[in-house]
Amino acid sequence: MPDLLLEIGCEELPGSACRELIAQVPELTRRALADLRLEAAAVAVSVSPRRFALRVDGLPDQRPGRSRSVRGPAESAAFKDGEPTKAATGFARSQGVKVADLTVREQDGRAFVFADVEEPAAPTAELVPGLAAAVVDRVRFGKTMRWGDGVGLRFSRPMRWIVAKLADQTVEFELHGLRAGDVSQGHRFLGGPVTVPDAAGYRDALLRVGVVADHDERRRQITDGLDAAAAEARGRWHDPGGALEEVVFLVERPSVITGAFDPAHLRLPRRVLVTAMQSHQRYFPLEDPDGGLMPAFLAVSNGDPAHADLITRGNEEVLDARLQDAAFSFDVDRDAGLHALDARLASIVFHARLGSMADKRDRLVDAVAALAEAAGVDDDAAAAAGEASGLAKADQGAVLVAEFSELEGEVAAEYARIEGRSEEVCRAVAQHYLPEGPDSPLPEGDAGALLAAADKADNLAGAFLVAEAPTGSRDPYGLRRAAAGLVRILLERGWDVSLRALLGGAAARLRAQGADLAADDDAALDALDAFIAERLARQLAAEGVTAEAAAAAQGADLDSVVATAAWARGVQAAADAPELGAAWTACTRLARIAARAEGEAGAFTPAGDPGEDALAAAVHAAAPAIERAREHRDFPAALAAAAGVAAPVDRFFDEVMVNADDPVDRARRLALVREAAATLRRAVDLGAVTEGGGVL
């Protein structure tokens, strides 16, 4: 049972591409093995900056042969007047048989031609090229280069060599202009070419030329080295920016070095120091036992450990230059003060059609006040949010933010702290860009949440009102992230506010400032409502709420993220309740007829028909009960009221001919059906729910 080793050598791969390979290659390999009818004991991938290696253990020596019968075109299409047509000859050619060898058999009451194909056994080595091509050609990267042997292969970086070993056998083949063999390449500076003797000896062979091929082993070596170096420095290493996950794919032979910087730089805000080390240089800050930053750092080198002193000095000089720039910028901003920074906002463009950063600031001040009132936030938090909204964008005029753009918000908060603003205000300013992703933390307090929600609502409304909504994979303003963040904030805070009022208020403020907006605000805001609804559905899906339950709740048009989420959870919880089944039956029967009457005017006027009157009475009794349930956010009560209409609906359709010959009767009955369907939809729109699936 031989093992297979496939190594694809590349130019240096970015960390994101390495992670994509780890996520995709094992599953792509299993699919390719299934297509080739090969079974394996295990599949694993190892990724390093200049290569990925696929290991398939326990393959058979050969794929067994088999007989199979392939159905082709119908006999009537394959033969005309006893002569084979192009359909027959083409089918025979595709299956590698002669037309004379085709047979006619009946299947499902029809006659078809069949090709009986004998597939001989095949040595596994002959199938390796197909396996390699299937994996390489099907990997998908977020960013690619077009490269290859004239076929326009899209891959993260150009491929440079291929190693293919089946046990100790070298499998030679050509793929995208490269000839597979048994020679790999070692560390770019510390190694050289190396012959891989067999699949089992791959990692040892690479290690001899300076490459730790397995990413998990490199991560272990890096963390062990960081732990040891930190202990020697009497501190602990810190990785708030997640640099480790990138460093693992920046080095092939990791070694940890300890560097230092001028203690005078510790006067800079902690976040500035950490960002300079992590975001710019991929260093790891060191903390003392009390949690304070030490004037030292750890770095992971890909160079020769024999020259660690020289490498360390180079790293120290690079960091010192960054920190000197930061110190200069910090001093310039601090000397200017927040008032001067704020005054610069009028000359900074937020968006060519949406005004300046000063306009943005003024909108936020009004938006925060309106949201605080709508959400019922206490006066202290509302006041802190109001103060923070006037400061949140001040650092757009800061020299330090020009140097460290990732510190937006943090810099304004630090300058506000220096000028004696309250910690609640400073924290709100620092956190108003949160959350930055699905796993990002939310603002900690009401003040920060108010400011963050108002900022995101303004960004969303502005983009949609100038017709710059995301399209396909394009989202240059991060609006999907903003909408998801807005949803998370409203849900986490439980702010049962009107989404249309929140977004409409943002639109009104833009109009009042004279922004160059699209003519139809309602159409833009309708599109934005649907956009945010998608984000809410995704959030609910993470909780286990089905898409159908979310759609049923959204169709009830509650105009509140919190209320819609509660409604969706209620639909999900009632999945097996008889009331939901009864309401679904009534809703779907009414909806089918109401759809035919779309666009027709007229209201229901009783005419003394018992079936009509019974349904009308039930609808008129249910309507106020549903509205009360909506007002009190009581989904079970709304569902009970809707379910109470089920029996009268059944009676109506049993006794009444809706599509009557008399146009007056038909119009009256269609009006009643429309009214009943609309009333039940106010409880829950079960048109999105299918019987036997979803929540039923």
Mapping DSSP to helix (H, G, I), strand (E, B) and coil, where does residue 496 land? coil
Do residues 302 and 244 lie in contact, with contact meaning Cβ atoms separated by under 8 Å?
no
Measured CA to CA, the distance from residue 134 to residue 31 in angstroms comes to 9
Q: Which one, of 364, 391, 353, lies nearest residue 505 by Cα?
A: 364
Determine the average pLDDT of the residues in 290-308. 94
Measured CA to CA, the distance from residue 686 to residue 553 in angstroms comes to 8
Residues 473 and 363 in one domain: yes
Measured CA to CA, the distance from residue 390 to residue 342 in angstroms comes to 9
Q: At 170, phi and psi to the nearest 5?
A: -85, 125
Identify whether 555 is part of a domain. Answer: no
Helix axis angle for 646-655 and 610-631, nearest 10°, is 160
Residues 189 and 225 in one domain: no
Identify whether 91 is part of a domain. Answer: yes
405: amino acid identity, one letter? S
Q: How many contiguous H segments (helices) and E segments (strands) does the chain have?
A: 25, 24
Identify whether 693 is part of a domain. Answer: no
Identify whether 328 is part of a domain. Answer: yes
Q: Quote the pLDDT of residue 39.
A: 86
Chain segment 13-36, per-residue pLDDT in tens: 999 999 999 999 999 999 999 888
Q: Quote the pLDDT of residue 438.
A: 84
Do residues 232 and 258 lie in contact, with contact meaning Cβ atoms separated by under 8 Å?
yes
Q: Quote the pLDDT of residue 692.
A: 46
Determine the average pLDDT of the residues in 588-607. 74
Angle at 584 between CA 582 and CA 588, to 5 degrees: 125
Measured CA to CA, the distance from residue 633 to residue 497 in angstroms comes to 12
Residues 230 and 278 in one domain: yes
**Cβ-based neighbours of 204, under 8 Å, separated by 6 or more:** none
Q: Quote the pLDDT of residue 599.
A: 55
Mean pLDDT of all residues belonging to the chain: 91
Angle at 483 between CA 479 and CA 486, to 5 degrees: 135
Chain segment 485-534, per-residue pLDDT in tens: 999 999 999 999 999 999 999 999 999 999 999 878 889 999 999 999 99
Q: Quote the pLDDT of residue 221.
A: 97
Bridge partner residues of 161 (DSSP): 9
Residues 372 and 327 in one domain: no
Residues 78 and 30 in one domain: no
Q: What is the DSSP string of 621-637?
A: HHHHHHHHHHHTT-HHH
pLDDT over 90 for what percent of the chain? 70
Measured CA to CA, the distance from residue 34 to residue 56 in angstroms comes to 13
Determine the average pLDDT of the residues in 312-321. 96
Output the CA torsion sign for 273, 279, 282, 285. positive
Angle at 413 between CA 410 and CA 416, to 5 degrees: 155
Bridge partner residues of 44 (DSSP): 55
Residues 106 and 245 in one domain: no
Residues 201 and 277 in one domain: no
pLDDT of 170 strictly over 90: yes
Determine the average pLDDT of the residues in 462-477. 90
Q: How far is CA 679 from CA 140, 599, 615, in A?
A: 48, 17, 12
Residues 386 and 528 in one domain: yes
Identify whether 352 is part of a domain. Answer: no
Identify whether 403 is part of a domain. Answer: no
Measured CA to CA, the distance from residue 666 to residue 672 in angstroms comes to 10
Residues 252 and 145 in one domain: no
pLDDT of 567 strictly over 80: yes
Measured CA to CA, the distance from residue 6 to residue 54 in angstroms comes to 5
Q: Which of 152, 179, 208 is the last residue of a domain?
A: 208
Do residues 612 and 673 lie in contact, with contact meaning Cβ atoms separated by under 8 Å?
no
Residues 365 and 485 in one domain: yes
Identify whether 694 is part of a domain. Answer: no
Q: How far is CA 213 from CA 98, 139, 216, 249, 256, in A?
A: 50, 20, 9, 11, 18
Do residues 463 and 352 lie in contact, with contact meaning Cβ atoms separated by under 8 Å?
no
pLDDT of 627 strictly over 50: yes
Identify whether 675 is part of a domain. Answer: yes
Do residues 295 and 262 lie in contact, with contact meaning Cβ atoms separated by under 8 Å?
yes
Q: Which one, of 685, 686, 695, 680, lies nearest residue 556 by Cα?
A: 685
Which segment of 42-51, 99-108, 236-245, 593-602 scores lowest on mean pLDDT? Answer: 593-602
Domain that holds residue 424: 357-390+418-542
Please give, one letter per residue, the 3-state secondary structure of 543-601. Answer: CCCCHHHHHHHHCCCCCCHHHHHHHHHHHHHCCCCHHHHHHHHHHHHHHHHHHHCCCCC
pLDDT of 37 strictly over 90: no
Residues 581 and 603 in one domain: yes
Helix axis angle for 610-631 and 663-683, nearest 10°, is 20
The band of 600, judged by pLDDT with boundaries at 50, 70 and 90, is low
Q: Which two tokens stand for residue 399?
A: 């020299």
Which segment of 50-64, 157-171, 589-603 scores lowest on mean pLDDT? Answer: 589-603
Parallel, antiparallel, or unpaired: how do β-strands 62-63 and 355-356 relate? unpaired
Do residues 22 and 214 lie in contact, with contact meaning Cβ atoms separated by under 8 Å?
no
613: amino acid identity, one letter? D
Start-to-end CA span in the chain (Å):
50
Determine the average pLDDT of the residues in 320-332. 95
Structural domains of the chain, count: 5
Q: Which of 161, 192, 208 is the last residue of a domain?
A: 208
Bridge partner residues of 549 (DSSP): none
Q: Which of 208, 243, 259 is the last residue of a domain?
A: 208
Determine the average pLDDT of the residues in 601-605. 73
pLDDT of 687 strictly over 80: no
Residues 238 and 250 in one domain: yes
Please give, one letter per residue, the 3-state secondary structure of 28-57. Answer: HHHHHHHHCCCCCCEEEEEEECCEEEEEEE
